[in-house]
Amino acid sequence: MKSWIAFWNILMKDMRNYYLKPPNISWGIIFPFAWTLMFFLRSRTAFDVQSILPGVVSMSILFGTTSMLAVTITFERKSRSFERLLLAPLDLNLLMLAKTTGAIIFGVLNAFVPIFFALFITDLSDVNWFPALGSILLMAVTSTFLGLFIAVSVSEVFEAQTFSNFFRFPMIFLCGLFIPLGELPLFIRPLSFILPLTYGVDILKNSINGSGVIQPWLSFLVLLGFGLFLFAFSTKNIKRKWIY
């Protein structure tokens, strides 16, 4: 019980202290918001909106979660407050779940910004919401753990943001967000299938407009596998670099 009280307090502290930090506002809210407006304003039909909605939702999740982790982990490492958490009698896995849950929530909330706009433009009654919501949650989890992997690899917030962009911007073009996988050059296409966002976007495409090319159950399994791998790899790095 005490461990879960600690979990809750760490989560609430991060939500109070870091949600409105400048990197979160610029990369996690304003950037996806601007892209949402840009694509929705240039779309003139319901079909156009539904075709770009999976990509905009996925991008909002990706930028929101990775920006959140870049601030929370690297900022606390810089101020040495993270070391005090490591000294607490709390399992490391539970501690890192507490540090990442806020980013997951932030990413899920970000996903509903473009969905909210889309409701005023097109009819979303045909959307299969159950797999869509599952995809949003798993993408938020996987993107958060990708952000954790980045955060434990650097020591400054600006380094984390720069390193994040090394992953984020290629994903915009390689993961089928706005360019269908079938239209990518053959020599680039294999790269798409080693990036977790590809599978989340494909589930959303299946759910929103039926244009996915991968079996949803396979995409869910791959996303789950990516999430477990990134979390395990990141906690192993924390033990190796920051504890032992």
The answer to whether 49 touches 117, Cβ cutoff 8 Å, is no
- Give the angle subtended at the CA of 198 by the CAs of 194 and 204, to the nearest 5°: 155
Mean pLDDT of 75-96: 78
Q: Is a pLDDT exceeding 60 seen at residue 14?
A: yes
Comparison of pLDDT for 54 and 20, the residue scoring more: 54
Separation between Cα atoms, residue 227 and residue 77, nearest integer Å: 23
Mean pLDDT of 27-54: 70
Q: State pTM to two decimals.
A: 0.89
The pLDDT of residue 23? 65
Mean pLDDT of 97-112: 88
The answer to whether 98 touches 10, Cβ cutoff 8 Å, is yes
Comparison of pLDDT for 196 and 160, the residue scoring more: 196
What is each CA distance from 10 to 65, 96, 109, in whole angstroms? 17, 10, 19
Mean pLDDT of 101-123: 86
Q: Is a pLDDT exceeding 70 seen at residue 63?
A: yes
Positions of E strands within 158-210: none
Where is 103: in which H helix or E strand? Answer: helix 92-119
Nearest to 32 by CA among 54, 56, 3: 56
Q: In the 8-state DSSP scheme, what is residue 60?
A: H
Question: What are the backbone dihedrals phi and psi of residue 192, each rounded to the nearest 5 degrees, phi first?
Answer: -60, -35
Compute and round to an integer the Cα radius of gyration of the chain. 18
Separation between Cα atoms, residue 28 and residue 70, nearest integer Å: 11
Distance of CA 72 to the CA centre of its chain: 15
Q: Is a pLDDT exceeding 80 seen at residue 155?
A: no
Nearest to 176 by CA among 189, 165, 162, 157: 189
Instruction: Parse the chain into domains and list their residue ranges.
Output: 2-243
User: Tell me, what amino acid is at 244?
Assistant: Y
Separation between Cα atoms, residue 113 and residue 111, nearest integer Å: 6
Each residue's pLDDT tens digit, 175-206: 888 788 888 888 888 889 999 999 999 999 99
Question: How long a stretch of residues is the chain?
Answer: 244
pLDDT band at 229 (very low <50, low <70, confident <90, very high): very high
Separation between Cα atoms, residue 244 and residue 11, nearest integer Å: 25
